[in-house]
Structure 1
Amino acid sequence: MLLSRKLAALPAGRYAKWAVLLVWIALVMVAVPNAGRLADVVEDKSAAELPRGAQSTRVEELTPRFPGGEMAPGLVAYVRDGGITAADRARVQADRRALAPVADGPIAPPAASRDGRALMLHIPLSDGETLSPKAEKIRDQVEKNAPPGLQIRLTGPAGSALDVGDAFQKIDKLLLIITMVLVTAVLLFTYRSPLLWLLPLANAAISLQVTSAVVYLLAKHAGLYVADGMSSILNALVFGITTDYALLLLARYREELRRHPDRHEAMRIALHRAATPIIASAATVCLGLLCLLAAKMGFNYALGPIGAIGVLGGLIVVMSLLPAMLVIFGRWIFWPRIPRYGDTPPVHGGVWDRIGRRVAAHPRLIWIGGMAVLAGLSAGALGINTGLDREHFLTTTPSSTIGERLLNAHYPGDQTRPLQVVTDASGTDSITSALRNVPGVARVEKPQPSADGRLTRTEVVLSAPTDSQAAKDAVKRIRDTVPQATVGAGAASELDLADAQAHDRRVVIPLVLGVVLLILMALLRALVAPLLVIATVVASYFAALGGGWLIFHYVFDFPALDTQVALMGFLFMVALGVDYNLFLLSRVREEVELASHRTGVLRGLGLTGGVISSAGLVLAATFGVLGVMPITMMVQIGVLVALGVLLDTFLVRSIIVPALALDVGRRFWWPGRLGTRPPAHAQTREPVHH
């Protein structure tokens, strides 16, 4: 304990503060160049995102054994409603010749549709770093000087990858700018200071740079997987959580500046007293994220350690650099509302003081009414449709989706994403014959042998669209008919993804709840309070899910909820939502030690209400920014988490939890010491508001 206090006091030391600042300057100088390279290690291969151990993942892993390696072909659709003309055929042949140097293999002659209104060009491309640049060259070539009346679209895996890459490239920098503007606005509103807001914002930016650098180095040298879209989630998480911790420390530091003439001593005490809830919060979020290591989905599994790195980065910056900077700048950084030694805060009349008194007047009626509001919002979740199809992967309709529709309208089955069936070479003929007889199979291509001759890979085109239940049922029939085969890609991947997401929800959600419950029990030294808090946070999650679905369905016109959103939303909302309850109840417990239970609850609410509300606004803003992304899943995660944080901040934490604590009384702390008898040194103190 003595060692931890000495370590905590380092940033507040008269000389050590300068050493801490110099260390961070050196770290930033190293971090910034590496953080700028994070985009270089983002993986665009699908294998890493697929479920671990699934058949579709195994097919992806076996792909390099076949000629051409991992392929992501581009399919070019040429469609004329009045029928393909001789000039159209000449144009397609010209494109075929022009694209030969770009392709990673010979381009077959164009395939004509039976109705004579479409031609399809299949361009082999390797799934790697060159995929997007080559797909862009193909798109530019085929769309250049298109003849009137001839629709030309690049689709297939290459077209989809290009559209997704374009969407992320256009939005990443804009997201960061919008995030910084929103956080600045909240901080200016909170502190009404032209200077103080710069410190939390600067610390959040430094946290993001350091975190991004660490993630880049681990991806480059230790094989850490970084997927498309992960940097956007990391930005929101790091900015939000670093600012939250900074706000909590600043509030405690301002309290201590009124009690101590020496700012170094004030910071030392503020650090010591704020450390417990901040570290407990970081531990909650980190361990909650690390529960994703039990997930099957590659994206979920990889987000765990990357998110935990971001949270730890924010924690270390706020507990070391921010205190040093605050002590170096002195009290004037709070100008014009400078906290002076001996100042007394207003005792009555504050917003949170008034809210607390109204809650205390009828606590049972208040918490029952609050839970009824959450239950009403939760009812919206009863009509949720899950399983967003690829056509709605982006919020707009990309060129590749239009091309896919064109091909599906003129060719049998789903040409853009066929199944891949891998088998031992010895039984190829019988398996091919069996595949042709499976209901739902439109076409079976000629098997392709592996380089060593031991395996064969057969492409199978289904008659139903890849995202449909009929296609998934066809995959199940194929797997039952040829159990010795490994079936992947197309609808098989969609089926395995849905199964993996269901597994992850069953496994990860109970793990997260267990971790959060244990941390709350350790911090509050009670059982009743943690159980009640967990119940309210889960209730707010379902309320946000129901309210969010109403927004998605009636405002955004999304047909369904992405299967990934329910788990991501739960993880962030529970782990981050518990943060505010940790901040509140750790302070309430501290005040109950000095006063009666009722006074301690009201005083804790009054002292933390302002800072926690500001923190909630910051976190909601940083995740809400994801709502401007062109990726439907990101929009849904951002809106869901922002709505959940706002509900948790302004209803659950500020009204329902205090009402429950007041209604249950001192048993709220059972079986801890505070739950059985009042502290011997307790004294009556009136609640105050800062």
Structure 2
Amino acid sequence: MKVPAPNDDRKGGRVPRWLRILLPAVLIVVWLALAGVGGPYFGRVSEVSSNDQASYLPASADATQVANLQAKFSGSDAVPAIVVYERSSGLTKDDLAAITDDTKDIADLPGVHGDVSPPIASKDGKAAEVFVPFADDSDLDTNVAGLRDHLSTSTPDGVTSYVTGPAGFTADLVAAFGGIDGILLAVALAAVFLILVVVYRSPLLPILVLATSMFGLCVALLVVWWLAKWGAVQLNGQVQGILFILVIGAATDYSLLYVSRYREALRDEQSRWRATWIAIRGAFGPIVASAGTVIVGLLCLLFSDLNSNKALGPVASIGIVFAFLAAMTLLPSLLLAFGRAAFWPVRPKFGSEHPQVVGPHAKGLWARVAGWIRRAPRIIWVVCTIALLLGATGVLQLKADGVPQSDLILGHSDARDGQQVLADHFPGGSGSPALVVGPASELQPMADVLLNHDGVSSVAVVAKDSPSGTAPVTADGVQPVGAPGSPPPEPTTVDGDVMLQATLSDPADSDAAEATVRSLRTDLYKVDDGILVGGVTAVAIDSNDASIHDRNTIIPIVLVVILLILMLLLRAILAPVILVLSVVVSFAASLGVSAYVFDHVFGFPGADPAVPLYGFVFLVALGIDYNIFLMTRVREETQLHGTRQGILRGLAVTGGVITSAGLVLASTFAALGVIPILFLAQIAFIVAFGVLVDTLIVRSLLVPALSYDIGRAIWWPSKLWRTDAAILASDSDPERLVEEQIDAIGAGGRPSHHHEHLHQGDREHPAP
């Protein structure tokens, strides 16, 4: 009878050879087909994506309700653009005549939907404004760009023109997001590729890992696109950019963990099939726990009031699902097909010895780090904690109470420049009035409240019979429009309500305007508690208030949910509490250092209230990943070698792969900084810096040192806490026993049976 070789896969031998070839081949073909279908959708995202303000508004806010009613009052869903003309020495009669003639040509431009207003001159005679209504469709940015091109040739010499207003800002926002499909992906993939080449010292393996990430992204985008098409999810530029980065970063992280397990298995198994299944079994638990933690954390965003926050949860979760599926099906199939050749020129040879991870003969950076922790655990975790707490002091100066709309775009913005010109020559809120919707029976009392407020310049009521669509309202009521003696137009009513437009004295995105709108809401509610106040300023107020509510609600939910997941995963209470607290301190330090950088290096005007929330969700959900990778391996090693030895071995074994994963994820999030949007630039820095802190300080030093100092009590109250004493002489330090045994050998003694067991453990459970 033939005795199978030690590495002969008797169980695997039951699987026919044709099936071993067919299964990975089918998986690769399926992924190729799905990615081939999903790839072209990168160019079609604009068909289902919206960057207008409604996609960011809280669903139940007053401003949202007013925005939904506005089209009913005006009879059109047009988005207004404001064309501003300026001559510093004053507009001449010829200038105004040329502008008037040009309005006829503007009315014929693509996308113009309705009547273009005649030019309205400022009181100082140096500027004029023209209102241009655009159709609210996916071509808004293209149509506004066409208007700007037209103005570049039709504006009189010596006169400067700008396109601002809601349509102008939306077009600039869309243009800023325009680099997501190209520049963002190119920068992220290039950064990841360079890191992988350095890590693996192989030209082929980085390509396989990046292909896995891109295929996962293509299929995720395909699913998200159709869900957005059917109205199941919302998609905007902000969510789209984060989806791209998250999938690439997460899929690469999961791939790195699998590759390390596969390379380790190839040293012990001659059969690639057997090595593949060993790697899948070893990597599946940590990866599924990591992906599940991120998904649950992201789905907590469904508790948000703000639409943009709520939209990110399911979209990003779908991305993580396909990142996980690609890393656990496509990558194993590719590596099974290429075998050891994927690692060329540094191929793992069957039967080759694994490097010793702990003990006197251990070499490498992580073996030295493990040695430092063994010698001075308390000093290390105390110093790390103090450093993180010092960094966290910057949170006190973080200005996350919102920024003006004009500051959302970094770099040049024609709409922002035009808004400044409007503020210089017209009432500050010209073109972006506060919109008040209330009972027609209370029209005059509502108008009186508005007129008596210092922050309001003028009031008008929407009236379809008026040539301009509105009629002025004074203390004497609705005023006539047109020829002297004509009766005042009848206000438009919708379900018994009228809409008033209050031009504010201050720019619509200023703090003064926000104070005015808040005060008006209080006073108008005294007239009728059903009155709604909307408009650009109200949108900013309601969005900021909803962001603050979301931040205060979701952060505790995420903490509790992740703590419960870790308790189930590690089957303990103390270790999960330590991990969650370490990540919270890490997040506070990252946010504090970011506040210093934003204020004193970049000079940012402030931050959106959603910035801390997004930073928290990503850093806690993703930062806990590295602790999961570490502690699942520590638990595995503890079952064989005891807690303290398990901590050192787990750190040494996972150190390289987790550090590489952290560098990859930090690089991908840093790539968000190439998109000139303030929110994304801030998220890019916070998450990238925070991931590095989690990877290099929290996971490498703080958690291992604190756990080592506590000892086996970290597994309380699990069975491992009670049985650890029987594994290896309670909590004594096995490495110290090894050193003592070496001294005994040098003195002519013999190694103990316990010592031999330790070295056998080194051979059976090596580092990758």
TM-score by length of 1: 0.95
AA at the equivalent of 2:73: F
Is 2:455–2:505's contact at 8 Å kept on the other side of the alignment? yes
| Matched ranges for 1:615-626 at <5 A | 615-626=661-672
Identity of aligned residues (%): 39
1:167 aligns with 2:182: no
**Cα offsets for 1:253-279 (capped at 9, x unmatched):** 111111122111111111012111100
For 1:508, what is the secondary structure of its paired residue?
helix
Give the alignment partner of residue 419 of structure 1, picking from 434, 447, 451: 434
Report the Cα distance in structure 1 between the residues aligned to 2:591 and 2:103, rounded to whole angstroms. 49
AA at the equivalent of 1:164: L
Cα distance change, pair 645–320 in 1 and its aligned pair in 2 (3 A): same
Is 2:633–2:650's contact at 8 Å kept on the other side of the alignment? yes
Between 298-307 and 556-565, the greater mean CA deviation after superposition: 556-565
Between 66-75 and 369-378, the greater mean CA deviation after superposition: 66-75
Report the Cα distance in structure 1 between the residues aligned to 2:450 and 2:77, rounded to whole angstroms. 23
AA at the equivalent of 1:162: A
User: Which residue in 2 is equivalent to 1:81?
Assistant: 88
1:367 aligns with 2:381: yes
Give the alignment partner of residue 403 of structure 2, picking from 378, 385, 388: 388
AA at the equivalent of 1:616: G
**Cα offsets for 1:172-223 (capped at 9, x unmatched):** 3011111111110010011001111111100001011001000001111244
1:350 aligns with 2:392: no
User: Which residue in 1 is equivalent to 2:185?
Assistant: 176
**Structure possessing the higher radius of gyration over alpha carbons:** 2
Give the alignment partner of residue 49 of structure 2, picking from 25, 29, 42: 42
Deviation at 1:385, TM superposition (A): 1.7
1:329 aligns with 2:371: no
AA at the equivalent of 1:272: R
- Report the count of equivalent residues: 684
Report the Cα distance in structure 1 between the residues aligned to 2:44 and 2:138, rounded to whole angstroms. 15
Deviation at 1:106, TM superposition (A): 1.7
1:441 aligns with 2:456: yes
Deviation at 1:168, TM superposition (A): 1.7
User: Which residue in 1 is equivalent to 2:201?
Assistant: 192
For 1:42, what is the secondary structure of its paired residue?
coil
AA at the equivalent of 1:389: P
AA at the equivalent of 2:367: D
User: Which residue in 1 is equivalent to 2:349?
Assistant: 340
User: Which residue in 2 is equivalent to 1:110?
Assistant: 119
Cα distance change, pair 247–12 in 1 and its aligned pair in 2 (3 A): farther
Give the alignment partner of residue 614 of structure 1, picking from 660, 667, 691: 660
For 1:73, what is the secondary structure of its paired residue?
strand
Report the Cα distance in structure 1 between the residues aligned to 2:461 and 2:590, rounded to whole angstroms. 50
Deviation at 1:412, TM superposition (A): 1.7
1:537 aligns with 2:583: yes
Is 1:390–1:467's contact at 8 Å kept on the other side of the alignment? yes
Report the Cα distance in structure 2 between the residues aligned to 1:12 and 1:496, rounded to whole angstroms. 59
Report the Cα distance in structure 2 between the residues aligned to 1:33 and 1:167, rounded to whole angstroms. 21
**Cα offsets for 1:216-262 (capped at 9, x unmatched):** 01111244210122221111100000000000000011111111221
Report the Cα distance in structure 1 between the residues aligned to 2:580 and 2:31, rounded to whole angstroms. 37
Report the Cα distance in structure 2 between the residues aligned to 1:457 and 1:12, rounded to whole angstroms. 70
AA at the equivalent of 2:39: V
Cα distance change, pair 447–66 in 1 and its aligned pair in 2 (3 A): closer
Cα distance change, pair 148–35 in 1 and its aligned pair in 2 (3 A): closer
User: Which residue in 2 is equivalent to 1:479?
Assistant: 521
Is 1:12–1:323's contact at 8 Å kept on the other side of the alignment? no
Is 2:263–2:348's contact at 8 Å kept on the other side of the alignment? yes
Report the Cα distance in structure 2 between the residues aligned to 1:514 and 1:124, rounded to whole angstroms. 49
Is 1:425–1:453's contact at 8 Å kept on the other side of the alignment? no
Deviation at 1:349, TM superposition (A): 1.1
Is 2:582–2:703's contact at 8 Å kept on the other side of the alignment? yes
Deviation at 1:104, TM superposition (A): 1.7
Give the alignment partner of residue 63 of structure 2, picking from 49, 52, 56: 56
**Cα offsets for 1:476-508 (capped at 9, x unmatched):** 222122223111122111111111001100111
AA at the equivalent of 1:125: F
AA at the equivalent of 1:531: V
Report the Cα distance in structure 1 between the residues aligned to 2:23 and 2:310, rounded to whole angstroms. 39
Is 2:430–2:503's contact at 8 Å kept on the other side of the alignment? yes
For 1:634, what is the secondary structure of its paired residue?
helix
User: Which residue in 1 is equivalent to 2:636?
Assistant: 590
For 2:507, what is the secondary structure of its paired residue?
coil
For 1:388, what is the secondary structure of its paired residue?
coil
Deviation at 1:107, TM superposition (A): 2.0
Report the Cα distance in structure 2 between the residues aligned to 1:260 and 1:12, rounded to whole angstroms. 19
Report the Cα distance in structure 1 between the residues aligned to 2:139 and 2:28, rounded to whole angstroms. 42
Is 2:293–2:565's contact at 8 Å kept on the other side of the alignment? yes
**Cα offsets for 1:318-340 (capped at 9, x unmatched):** 11111111111111211111112
Give the alignment partner of residue 29 of structure 2, picking from 18, 22, 25: 22
1:401 aligns with 2:410: no
Is 2:58–2:306's contact at 8 Å kept on the other side of the alignment? yes
1:230 aligns with 2:250: no
| Matched ranges for 1:457-496 at <5 A | 457-483=499-525, 484-496=530-542
Is 2:439–2:496's contact at 8 Å kept on the other side of the alignment? yes
Give the alignment partner of residue 715 of structure 2, picking from 655, 669, 675: 669
Report the Cα distance in structure 1 between the residues aligned to 2:128 and 2:675, rounded to whole angstroms. 34
User: Which residue in 1 is equivalent to 2:105?
Assistant: 98
1:279 aligns with 2:268: no
AA at the equivalent of 2:256: L
Is 1:472–1:492's contact at 8 Å kept on the other side of the alignment? yes
AA at the equivalent of 1:393: L
User: Which residue in 2 is equivalent to 1:252?
Assistant: 261
User: Which residue in 1 is equivalent to 2:486?
Assistant: none
Cα distance change, pair 472–513 in 1 and its aligned pair in 2 (3 A): same
User: Which residue in 2 is equivalent to 1:125?
Assistant: 134
AA at the equivalent of 1:391: S
For 2:572, what is the secondary structure of its paired residue?
coil
Is 1:143–1:153's contact at 8 Å kept on the other side of the alignment? no
Query: Structure 1 unaligned runs (5+)?
Result: none
Is 2:52–2:170's contact at 8 Å kept on the other side of the alignment? no
Report the Cα distance in structure 2 between the residues aligned to 1:598 and 1:291, rounded to whole angstroms. 35
User: Which residue in 1 is equivalent to 2:647?
Assistant: 601
Is 2:56–2:543's contact at 8 Å kept on the other side of the alignment? no
For 1:119, what is the secondary structure of its paired residue?
strand
Deviation at 1:596, TM superposition (A): 1.9
Between 214-223 and 19-28, the greater mean CA deviation after superposition: 19-28
Is 2:264–2:767's contact at 8 Å kept on the other side of the alignment? no
**Cα offsets for 1:538-564 (capped at 9, x unmatched):** 111111111112222222221212222
Report the Cα distance in structure 2 between the residues aligned to 1:553 and 1:583, rounded to whole angstroms. 35
Deviation at 1:83, TM superposition (A): 1.3
Deviation at 1:669, TM superposition (A): 0.9
Cα distance change, pair 156–445 in 1 and its aligned pair in 2 (3 A): same
Between 462-471 and 521-530, the greater mean CA deviation after superposition: 462-471
Query: Structure 2 unaligned runs (5+)?
Result: 1-10, 357-361, 464-490, 729-756
Between 287-296 and 112-121, the greater mean CA deviation after superposition: 112-121
Deviation at 1:95, TM superposition (A): 2.0
User: Which residue in 2 is equivalent to 1:69?
Assistant: 76
Deviation at 1:636, TM superposition (A): 0.5
Is 2:144–2:167's contact at 8 Å kept on the other side of the alignment? yes
Deviation at 1:12, TM superposition (A): 9.6
Report the Cα distance in structure 1 between the residues aligned to 2:178 and 2:715, rounded to whole angstroms. 51
Report the Cα distance in structure 1 between the residues aligned to 2:153 and 2:38, rounded to whole angstroms. 43
Report the Cα distance in structure 2 between the residues aligned to 1:38 and 1:133, rounded to whole angstroms. 15
User: Which residue in 1 is equivalent to 2:446?
Assistant: 431
TM-score by length of 2: 0.86
1:202 aligns with 2:211: yes
Report the Cα distance in structure 1 between the residues aligned to 2:32 and 2:726, rounded to whole angstroms. 48
Report the Cα distance in structure 1 between the residues aligned to 2:132 and 2:22, rounded to whole angstroms. 66
Report the Cα distance in structure 2 between the residues aligned to 1:656 and 1:108, rounded to whole angstroms. 65
Deviation at 1:34, TM superposition (A): 4.1
